[in-house]
Amino acid sequence: MRKIRDVLRYRHSAGLSLEAIAGALNISKGVVAKYLRLATVAGLTWPIPDALDDAALEKLLYRQSAAREPTFAEPDYALVHQELKKKGVTLTLLWEEYRQAVGDRGYQYTAFCTRYRDWAGKLKRSMRQIHRAGEKLFADYAGPTVPIVDASTGEICPASIFVAVLGASSYTFACATPGQTQADWLTGMSRALTFIGGVRR
């Protein structure tokens, strides 16, 4: 605070240049300019009032600007996490709902996904599975049915998606079956084993 007082005195009483003040006080010219700018913003005049001690002077010059309202509206990541567990819900759908709710204050899709994944990455994991190569094949029907168009007749029929994944490598096979009957399941499994070139251990 002493040097700030000296800068103001040299500038206003003696009329010295920034360079001369910097040389006299052994500080940089940039620091002199910064002190003068702080005084101007604070509305401080010379001479400094006697009642203004160093603590009050520092508070006046370096007062914190009021906290600004955040530019972006943060999504409710816990809600996003719960909604993703529902059938047919995707991050894209949740992002679109979020943008409708907050408008221009919302994150773009990539930032939304990145921030959600960062948040989800900090969650406590309750079960870790270790798979040996070739040991397990996980199979199930995935998601809702999809429409399949018969090329010869143009008829549209719903089809179920059979998915099989090797545990260690995540090597994946998927195919459409007419339904989810035992025959459809066995057909899907047969095609999956043919695709991976063998059977799991």
Q: Where do the CATH 1.10.10 domains begin and end in the chain? A: 2-61
Task: Please state, rounded to an integer, the average pLDDT across all residues of the chain.
Answer: 84
Least confident of 15-29, 102-116, 120-134: 120-134
CATH class (in words) of the domain with range 2-61: mainly alpha
- Is the pTM higher than 0.75? no
Amino acid type, 200: R
pLDDT of residue 138: 93
pLDDT of residue 76: 92
Query: Are residues 61 and 67 in contact, defined by beta-carbon separation less than 8 angstroms?
Result: no
CA angle 24, 28, 34 (to 5 degrees): 105
Which residues are CB-neighbours of 155 under 8 A, at least 6 positions away?
Answer: 149
Cα separation, 65 vs 186, in Å, equals: 69
Cα separation, 167 vs 44, in Å, equals: 71
Alpha helices in 103-165 (DSSP H): 109-121
Express each pLDDT in 37-72 by its tens digit.
Answer: 887 777 777 777 777 777 777 777 776 444 455 688
Backbone angles phi, psi at 93, to 5 degrees: -65, -45
Q: In the chain, what percentage of residues exceed pLDDT 90?
A: 33
Cα separation, 158 vs 174, in Å, equals: 16
Strand duo 137-141 + 156-166: pairing: antiparallel
Cα separation, 1 vs 8, in Å, equals: 11
